[in-house]
Amino acid sequence: MLDPPSRLEALKALLEPGQRLWILPHDYPDPDALASACALQLLLEKRFGIRAEIVFSGSVSRAENRELLRHIQAKWSKVPLVSPPRSKIDCFLVDTAPWATNVTLPGYLNPVAVIDHHNHHRRHIQRNLFLDIRSGAGATTTILYEYLKEAEVKIPRWLASVMAYAISSETLDLSRDFEKQDVCAYLDLAARADLRLIGKIRHAPLPRVYYARLQEALTNARLVDKLAFTHLDQIEQPEIVAEVADLLLRMEGLRWTFCTAYINGGMFVSIRSSARGARCSKLLRMAMGKKGSSGGHDSMAAGMMDMSGLDPRQKDDRRLQFIRALMKHIFKKGVDLTERLNEELEHLTYPPLPGEPQTAPENGGKPA
């Protein structure tokens, strides 16, 4: 890994005066992705004189994230609203990578750099890019904080607030997957932050549909030993899936949780664990196999499984196959939960196909 001065020099080598440059977080960006993009935009302007544009696909739907976006003073755009250029545009990716499945890369974009804190499989990594991938870091925001500090760029109060909140959000208030650098960055940023602004973000008003989704998730939740899992039948935005997995993990006595949800012809999955050495990212990747892709960290991960072309029953078949595979990887060898698992899964009924009558679900399954 390059030392801080060398990283700044390597970045400088990628830039040219008057260059048009995009900063691309992942689709449906979370606080860490948005704060990282804003921090990189500030670094490029103040240190290198480059005015980069923050551009992303998808949308921001979670109440806290929408509130955060309202207070961002940096300019940003949505990819569909930007007219396709006649020539290629260089782009920096933050909190994601060009080989990841959670980012949309139009053909006119030319990735030149990746700054991220997620685990990436070695065979996917493109070595011809500027890479600063630190899978041990709790947040990509921490990495960008170190760039700003090394470059001696003053961080405005609004950005310090957003960055502090992002680190707190990504690490669950410094309770999971964090390092000493995350603590140092958070404490310095929090000391400069507008705490009232952070409070507004953290306690943003929740829409009514949030409670409907929450009710559905709790109704569908099932317990198997120290694991809880649930499913949302059809969602428009993926943020609620991770939020449900986090919420279930707070239940006393649980060590593992995951939530699945159908979205845009696929199935989104979010997994969480408080177990030491959980290897969530690896377990999810093994369970999905070639039918999907995933990424994440030791205690949390997310992925997308392809469901295109499947009817409702086939989708449920694939989902249940995935649940069985994931649980086999989660539970240690020698622990026989086959009978208990079958008992729980047999009560996950199929939704009726078009033209089929509605049937009342059988009693059974142990609600979480």
Domain ranges of the chain: 4-202, 208-345
Residue 284 CB contacts under 8 Å (≥ 6 apart), including other chains: 269, 271, 294, 296, 301, 302, 303, 326
Per-residue pLDDT, 364: 43
User: Contact at 8 Å (CB) between 198 and 71?
Assistant: no
Per-residue pLDDT, 342: 63
CA nearest neighbour of 245 among 203, 282, 274: 274
CATH class of 208-345: alpha beta
pTM: 0.83
User: Which pLDDT tens digits describe the chain residue by residue (368 residues)?
Assistant: 566 668 899 999 999 988 999 999 998 899 999 999 999 999 999 999 999 999 998 888 899 999 999 999 998 988 865 677 778 999 999 999 998 878 888 889 999 999 999 877 666 667 778 999 998 899 999 999 999 999 999 999 999 999 999 999 999 899 888 999 999 999 999 999 999 999 999 999 999 999 999 999 999 999 988 999 999 998 888 889 999 999 999 999 999 999 999 998 899 999 999 998 898 988 998 998 888 888 888 889 999 998 989 999 999 999 999 999 999 899 865 455 555 566 556 655 544 444 444 444 444 444 45
Per-residue pLDDT, 66: 94
Per-residue pLDDT, 341: 61
Distance of alpha carbon 37 from alpha carbon 185, whole angstroms: 16
Domain spanning 4-202: CATH 3.90.1640.10: yes
For residue 17, the surrounding DSSP H or E stretch is: none
